[in-house]
Structure 1
Amino acid sequence: MPKESKPDVPAAGVPTAKPTINDVARISGVSKKTVSRVINKSPLLGQATREKVEAVIAELGFVPNLQARALALRRNFLIGLIHDNPNAQMVLGVQEGILQTIRDTEFALVVRPVDRHSPRLLDDIRHFIEQQRLYGVLLLPPISENDELAALCRELGCTLVRMGSAELDDEAHLVASNDRQAVREAVAWLTGLGHKRIGFIAGPTGFRSAYEREQGFAEGLAEAGLTPDPALATRGDYKFESGYEAGQRLLDALPRPTAVFSSNDEMAAGLLHAARERGIDVPAQLSIIGFDDTAIAAHIWPPLTTVRWPIVPMAAAAAHKLIEPSDALSRQALFLSDLVRRASVAPPEA
């Protein structure tokens, strides 16, 4: 009578079939959630635990089955970046921060520009989230300020984080900066140098960042005992061309300002171009401060003094909150901007 065949016995508890995340967790002596964090390169693990789980993953030859996990979660491992922002440098900075976080993880980034004025905005975003089966979304200003849009994401069960210049949500779903305070401090520096006729280029209506920076400018003047001059205030749309046009208006004022604060670097660069055309020396005859500290600030001449908006760290923190929603509260929500002093500012002429 033939002997009954016996199944292969795995050595040291190692399975012979295709390994699963359950096998990795069992052999490592940790939970499936811990294994998932190792796979996603979460920084919330101790080094010893990470190395132990990684060793088991390598020994088993375990490869995460993204399709199976996506089916189980009813979500793809996609982070959606949704924006209607005219500042291309800002959007690129956000992408850099997200990609830093999801590098070497199973997550990928998909970018969706939208028109915030479209009557179909909510329908279009609903279709986008449902079609892509997004794991989470990062909403950039100004659409991050749209409470109906945030409610839609929650309705669809899609994790969201809102980026802004003020507190728009609870800390688990927010990364924000202190724009008002940062601008107020920048104006205090100008007045401390002796500037009294300070022009202002506001950002576009409907942006909370524009509002916060405008309030910070007004508060900075008030603290120095200065009264705002309507002839020294104008508005742009965060683009270079609007800064150039705003610069023409400000430089036509008599007497013209000795310094100008621009609500972003792109418009500040446009103002600098307008000043150069008129033969106005920057900073000897006109000091300029921008906001954002995008690449253009360091690349123009003279290099631009600007308020650094911590775009990349904010976006990186937002991405962590999206891929690890259970630990979102452990991530920083408020980011402080600081003044980067370069060669575009000097005391006013005597």
Structure 2
Amino acid sequence: MPRRQAGARPATIIDVAREAGVSFKTVSRVLNGERNVREQTRDRVMRAVSTLNYRANHNARNLRTQQSRIICLLHANPSRNYIGEVHLGALQRCQTEGYSLITEDCSAGSGGVLALRSKSRMAGAILTPPLSDDPDLIRELREHGVPFVRIAPSASAEPGRDVAIDDRAAAREMAQYLIGLGHRRIGFIRGAAAHHQAGLRLDGYKDALDQAGIPFDPDLVAEGNFTFDSGLAAADQLLDLPQRPTAIFASNDDMAAGVIAACYRRRIQIPQELSVAGFDDTPLAATISPSLTTIYQPSREQASEAVGLLLEEIAAPSDTPHRELLDYQLVVRDSTAPPHA
């Protein structure tokens, strides 16, 4: 691999990664003194550091004149539990990398983003759903040269970097679990239509029914918007059916908590009379009673990964689509059981 010529720009962490034949993240772990790196890999990174005469004060922060050390997390999600997890993951990674994090609620529109850019000179932005698919916001950021990374966007072929999980597969696994317990009438509460993941989770639910030979019944699908109140209203709709479901799968934990509240008001025992499942595994899932069976979505990890990808984008801009797909996990707790005979 060619060496850097005298008089060239200072070596960056991306240059070190290329020289050592490892990822940007691996170099970051080595330089931060983390232990989960093989000694052989650590040696290669440190040799590259020496070869390129890399200096810690010559990393991404100095790639641009007076480069900002501020990253902005943009959100317009009604679930405070989800946003709280994303915020914490991004904040922890920013602190590790020497950046500051600010947040901007764009629920009323993204018109203030450029003003925020001008005021804070932010280095880049992280877009959370549904802003990940907001064409006006994306165009605005590109036109003004603001680097950004998207969390869980719909179009993986869109130029740029993003991080997500397989929402469809995760929802399919949850529905298959409920079917495996013996449930055949499974209600589903969909999330806000503006969120691409809401559609994917509905598709996963339908996949599981189809694979089990259970006809899809549209009456068993209620609309929600990822809030507790919408889960409560959707639960009432499903529980008022002439033949109510034996299980309800909500597209996030907030709505699942609304289902549990609706059952409490109706004196329906969970899980003896109704099984309830959620999605996200926010702290709420383990603290409500009964504790919630749910899909663990690594929201903190996605946010942390998004910060890392953003630093790569700042250091080495690229139009090549790049997606990091993280693992999910089915978490079984007390809110699900076989249907009552």
TM-score by length of structure 1 reads 0.78
Task: Tell me what 2:34 maps to.
Answer: none
- Whether 1:107 aligns to 2:99 is yes
> Matches of 1:146 and 1:299 in 2, distance apart?
34
Q: CA deviation at 1:347?
A: 0.8
Task: Tell me what 1:57 maps to.
Answer: none
1:342 aligned residue (321, 327, 333): 333
> Matches of 1:110 and 1:51 in 2, distance apart?
36
Task: Tell me what 2:90 maps to.
Answer: 98
- Whether 1:221 aligns to 2:198 is no
2:285 aligned residue (256, 274, 297): 297
Matching residue's letter, 2:307: A
Task: Tell me what 1:262 maps to.
Answer: 250
Task: Give SS of 1:292's match.
Answer: coil
> Matches of 1:36 and 1:74 in 2, distance apart?
20
Report if the CA contact (8 A) 2:79-2:226 is conserved. yes
Task: Give SS of 1:256's match.
Answer: coil
Count of aligned pairs between the two proteins: 309
Q: Measured at CA, do residues 167 and 194 of structure 1 come closer, stay the same or move farther in structure 2, by a change above 3 Å?
A: same
Q: CA deviation at 1:147?
A: 2.7
Partner deviation per Cα, 1:27-54 (whole Å, 9 max, x = no partner): xxx954249989x982265645669989
Report if the CA contact (8 A) 2:186-2:249 is conserved. yes
> Matches of 1:222 and 1:347 in 2, distance apart?
20
Task: Tell me what 1:196 maps to.
Answer: 184
Task: Give SS of 1:288's match.
Answer: strand
Q: Measured at CA, do residues 88 and 159 of structure 1 come closer, stay the same or move farther in structure 2, by a change above 3 Å?
A: same
Q: Measured at CA, do residues 294 and 78 of structure 1 come closer, stay the same or move farther in structure 2, by a change above 3 Å?
A: same
Task: Tell me what 1:88 maps to.
Answer: 80
Task: Tell me what 1:137 maps to.
Answer: 125
Report if the CA contact (8 A) 2:253-2:278 is conserved. yes
Task: Give SS of 1:347's match.
Answer: coil
Q: CA deviation at 1:151?
A: 2.5
**Paired residues for 1:300-311 under 5 Å:** 300-311=288-299
Task: Tell me what 2:29 maps to.
Answer: 43
> Matches of 1:166 and 1:337 in 2, distance apart?
18
Any unmatched runs of 5+ in structure 1? 1-25, 55-61
Task: Give SS of 2:279's match.
Answer: strand
Report if the CA contact (8 A) 1:167-1:174 is conserved. no
Q: Measured at CA, do residues 283 and 130 of structure 1 come closer, stay the same or move farther in structure 2, by a change above 3 Å?
A: same
Any unmatched runs of 5+ in structure 2? 1-5, 18-24, 32-40
Task: Give SS of 1:109's match.
Answer: strand
Partner deviation per Cα, 1:239-296 (whole Å, 9 max, x = no partner): 1111111111111112211001101000100100111121111111101110000001
- Whether 1:272 aligns to 2:264 is no
Task: Tell me what 1:320 maps to.
Answer: 308
State the percentage of identical aligned residues. Answer: 34
Matching residue's letter, 1:344: S
Task: Give SS of 2:257's match.
Answer: helix
Q: CA deviation at 1:134?
A: 1.4
Backbone CA RMSD of aligned residues: 3.2
TM-score by length of structure 2 reads 0.80
Matching residue's letter, 2:218: P
Larger Rg: 1
Task: Give SS of 2:203's match.
Answer: helix
